[in-house]
Amino acid sequence: MQVENPEYIDTSGRLTQMAKEWDEAEKAKPYTPQEREIMNLIVKAHNLFIKEPTTHPDEMRQWVDGIHALQNVLGWRILRRDYPNEFR
């Protein structure tokens, strides 16, 4: 799979596809500029991490769980901001 922006390269292609979709979508929605930067940094951190050799069989699962936890925090932040009466 050839990717134009090498910053988004990963072995599975899933994060790469997500990052490309974010770039193609309206940049201001649903993220603020700072939230978008955070999400892009999460992708960059993942891409760097997966290049390292594993040191434990559970390492990748634990890493992915951590990435999902970060994404969930940002997702809830957006929901609370955009729908303050429904999500407090």
1 inside domain: no
87 inside domain: no
pLDDT band for position 5 (cuts 50, 70, 90): low
64 inside domain: yes
Task: Give the total number of structural domains in the chain.
Answer: 1
**pLDDT tens column, 12-40:** 667 667 777 766 665 557 889 999 999 99
**pLDDT of the residue at 2:** 45
State the residue range of the domain holding 67. Answer: 6-82
What is the three-state SS of the chain?
Answer: CCCCCHHHCCCCCHHHHHHHHHHHCCCCCCCCHHHHHHHHHHHHHHHHHCCCCCCCCCHHHHHHHHHHHHHHHHHHHHHHHHCCCCCC
**pLDDT of the residue at 24:** 65
**pLDDT of the residue at 11:** 58
12 inside domain: yes
